[in-house]
Structure 1
Amino acid sequence: MRRDLNLYWWGQTTSAFGSVFTAVALPVVAIVQLGASPGQMGLITAASTVPGMVLGLPAGALADRIRHPRRALLTLDTFSALGVGAVALGLADHIVSVGWLIGLGVLQGLLSILIGCLYFVHLRQLVDADGIGPVRARLQAGQYGAALLGRILAGPVIVAFGSQAALAIDAASYLLSATALLSMRSSDLTAPTPGRDSTGTFHGAASGLRFFAGHPFHRALLVFLVVPVAAMTGLATLTGPFLLRVIHLPTGYYGLAFVLSGVTGLAGSAAAARVLGPRSDPRRVTILAFTGGIACCLLLPLAGGPLPLAVACAALGIGLPIFFGAIANVAVSSVFATDVAEGEMGRITAALQVITATAAMLGSLAGGALGDQLGIRPALWALCAAALTAAALAGPHALRSARALRQSEASGVADLPTPTETAV
């Protein structure tokens, strides 16, 4: 298992490294080469969320029924490589349009919803529930470290060889990830469970949503899953135009504005491993970390003045939310490992992705629309203010619910839905 965990780490880390090249290249292609407006940028960003909204719930139920999740992940990595590689060839032939970028977003959204569901299903095969937190922190640290290196290299690669070279690197990274999965030796055959065998793929799709309506804490948690995603996606939609058009950052240095987020992601992953000790409450950590990330977003619209100062402030506004988000991601993984039955992990993960995909689509469209109507900097302020207001209103109730659940667990009568209560 240790060898397979190492291979899983290498595969995920390599894939994260390549994905950064596409993430940096696409805004440059859209804004610089194609002249995309903020509204069009919103459509490009929203495109990746549509498949999750439409197919997320049945995808999660399907993931719970797949008997060989590693084989499915390998297949999905291969299709991802083909999709990104096709756009790279289109860029080389100068035939790519905004429609191409929207189509790539739809394809990546479809594949990512399936990969996201199977990620935790397969991880649970490699490590027990008590070890999820440390292993998730290690995987996340590798991904942030790879992203850091990718952001340093992406700009120079784009300037020297073109955006098509950046996408070609991403396609190659998917193939390397597939190779790592193929090299694993342990069996990926899932054991039959009542949740997996008794629930039809589409008939049981909605059970994941009911999980978030069961306990008061899970209902409160929804706010802190939806609001940061919507806000961060709206901000991300406007970050490219803000850096390139408002701050006037040269294209060759565009990727460097995101380098700090790799450092803060690594730091957040390391901090999560320490914060989430045996006596800590991952539920409270999740709420507090999400709140901290939202507050730090204010630094992005504050960026101004001389170019070095403006870029430094913008980098902090991009990087510090990543620090708190890294802690929150590990913490919420521990919450799900504790609160979700193993046979329902795919459905719960899919429900989470559907919810966040909906929030991301609304956030990206709102960011684009606000950018067109108010201007880029005022739109950033509006998104930050809305997110902070929602967190301030929901935070106290979420923390009280987490404390009550922790106390009930300590007394041995945790008020959580049982697997039969969440199944259809």
Structure 2
Amino acid sequence: MSSEDTGTGRVDAAPGPQPRSQPPAEDTGRRRDVSLYWCGQTASAFGSVFTAIALPVVAVVQLHASPGAIGLISAATTAPVLLLGFPAGAFADRIARPRRALVLLDLLCAVAIGTVALGLASHVITLLWLVLLCLFMGATSTVSTSVYFLHLRQLVGADGIGGARARLQAGQYGAALVGRLLAGPATALLGAAAALSIDVGSYALSAVALLSMRSLDLVPREPGTSALATLRGALAGMRLFTGDAFHRALGLFVLVPAGTMAGVTALTGPFLLRDIRLPTAAYGLVFALSGLMGLAGSAAAVRLLRPERDPRRLMLAAFTAAVMCSLLLPLATGPLPLAAFCASLGIGLPIFFGSIANVALSSVLVTDMAEEVLGRSMAALQVCTAASALVGSLGCGLLGDLLGVRDTLWITAVIALVSMAVTLPAALRAIQRGAEAEAEPART
């Protein structure tokens, strides 16, 4: 469209096509690095499924482990959090280059899993090997969880955590879906050693993706703070559960369900392989629906986490729904196809709602926490939930030996529902009081 200049009587020609504005180089580089991070985390999630599928098969089928022994192996994953959680959080808050730390952790995990794969191939594996591997993986996971959020915040900033977390989680669930479809048949046909070797390669790919990033890997840290002084301040992360009424209610809300769900997870393998008598080759297929559910939950979280919507209420609702759906697992009975389908729902639906809750929880915590105590706050959350998970894994393993796996699954699901009924009202009241306190200055 032309326009007339009334000052001169001149009519301007219609403007031609305007050059498309180019995004700043910094934004382009950031998007590239986020994509690389997504690729690395997705590859790692794909490989981790093979280890997650192979280890229960080795323990139950090859080593004939009892439910109590399975509970011990599961507890070994969470035990390091109790010992290393607070020091790891303090260490993470001193890390100036979180990306390098993540690369080192990936390489250490690749070496550990590769060692166990060699032990399997040489037929010298024992339950002790599996316990030691879970202890080591739990220790590295304790550090990497805190460093993960430091690096993600470094890449996208506090405001971009929700969307980035949802995208990363969706990629991990998608990779896990494909992995679950392949892990069972691969373990049955090629052996557990080959399945673990795939996980070794996935950690190597994750390390390569991190090394390929170009953005600055530097978190400003105050000089002059000694490691001992930082370690002494490790308990500062516990302020996460004492800072205000909502965080105190959140601590109670998470604690018992975390333990009961850990117990259910520990007994899922024996339940599927022994009670339902699911063939080894089909073991991973039962978890395939959980991958789809995780993808759907991650996509739903992006839509549900709108600026006008309180992520706290969304998180509480999603956690409650996840626990309620866990009742479907012990209901799995009857002919094998029907039992397997019911078990798939009992595993998949909690993951659907849990993926929504995880994205909402990430938004709440990263927004509420100061960057200088982010690592310690995440460590405090890990320590508290790991303590509950440790009790749940060991307790459910012992109950499984005494009462049977199915009855134990019923008991743990009921305990989780009762805890939700007790703590949910307090959490909602805390949210309401906080909203009223924020609205009061606006009215005055």
Matched, 1:279 2:279: no
Shift of 1:194: 9.5
Matched, 1:52 2:81: yes
Identity %: 59
Structure 1 alignment gaps of length 5 or more: 414-424
Instruction: Say which one has the larger Rg.
Output: 2
**Aligned with 1:136 (options 139, 146, 165):** 165
Whether the 8 Å contact between 2:257 and 2:419 is mirrored in structure 1 is no
Whether the 8 Å contact between 2:53 and 2:183 is mirrored in structure 1 is yes
**Aligned with 1:179 (options 191, 208, 214):** 208
Shift of 1:344: 1.1
How many residue pairs were aligned?
A: 413
Counterpart of 1:108?
A: 137
Whether the 8 Å contact between 1:16 and 1:146 is mirrored in structure 2 is yes
Q: State the Cα deviation string for residues 29-59 of structure 1 (Å, max 9, x = none).
A: 0000000000000000000111111110011
Matched, 1:395 2:430: no
Matched, 1:202 2:228: no
Counterpart of 1:333?
A: 362
Counterpart of 1:379?
A: 408
> Could you state the TM-score of these two structures normalised by the residue count of structure 2?
0.91
Counterpart of 1:32?
A: 61
Whether the 8 Å contact between 1:14 and 1:173 is mirrored in structure 2 is yes
Whether the 8 Å contact between 1:84 and 1:170 is mirrored in structure 2 is yes
Counterpart of 1:420?
A: none
Instruction: Evaluate the alpha carbon distance shift between residue 334 and residue 195 of structure 1 in structure 2; reply closer, same or farther with a 3 A threshold.
Output: farther
How far apart are the structure 2 equivalents of 1:339 and 1:103? 36
**Aligned with 1:364 (options 364, 370, 393):** 393
Matched, 1:211 2:240: yes
Counterpart of 2:103?
A: 74
Matched, 1:228 2:257: yes
Q: State the Cα deviation string for residues 8-29 of structure 1 (Å, max 9, x = none).
A: 1111111011000000000000
Instruction: Evaluate the alpha carbon distance shift between residue 4 and residue 385 of structure 1 in structure 2; reply closer, same or farther with a 3 A threshold.
Output: same
Q: State the Cα deviation string for residues 362-402 of structure 1 (Å, max 9, x = none).
A: 11111101101111110000000100000001111101111
Whether the 8 Å contact between 1:42 and 1:364 is mirrored in structure 2 is yes
**Aligned with 1:296 (options 325, 331, 337):** 325
Whether the 8 Å contact between 1:193 and 1:343 is mirrored in structure 2 is no
Aligned alpha-carbon RMSD (Å): 1.6
Whether the 8 Å contact between 1:282 and 1:335 is mirrored in structure 2 is yes
> Could you state the TM-score of these two structures normalised by the residue count of structure 1?
0.95
Give 1:366's aligned amino acid: G
Counterpart of 2:4?
A: none
Give 2:161's aligned amino acid: I
Give 1:74's aligned amino acid: V
Shift of 1:198: 10
Q: Which moved more, 1:204-213 or 1:2-11?
A: 204-213
How far apart are the structure 2 equivalents of 1:121 and 1:196? 19
Shift of 1:410: 4.3
Counterpart of 2:194?
A: 165
Instruction: Evaluate the alpha carbon distance shift between residue 312 and residue 343 of structure 1 in structure 2; reply closer, same or farther with a 3 A threshold.
Output: same
Counterpart of 1:23?
A: 52
Counterpart of 2:434?
A: 405
Instruction: Evaluate the alpha carbon distance shift between residue 197 and residue 412 of structure 1 in structure 2; reply closer, same or farther with a 3 A threshold.
Output: farther
Whether the 8 Å contact between 1:118 and 1:346 is mirrored in structure 2 is yes
Counterpart of 1:419?
A: none
Runs of 4+ more than 4 Å apart: 193-199, 410-413
Whether the 8 Å contact between 2:56 and 2:269 is mirrored in structure 1 is yes
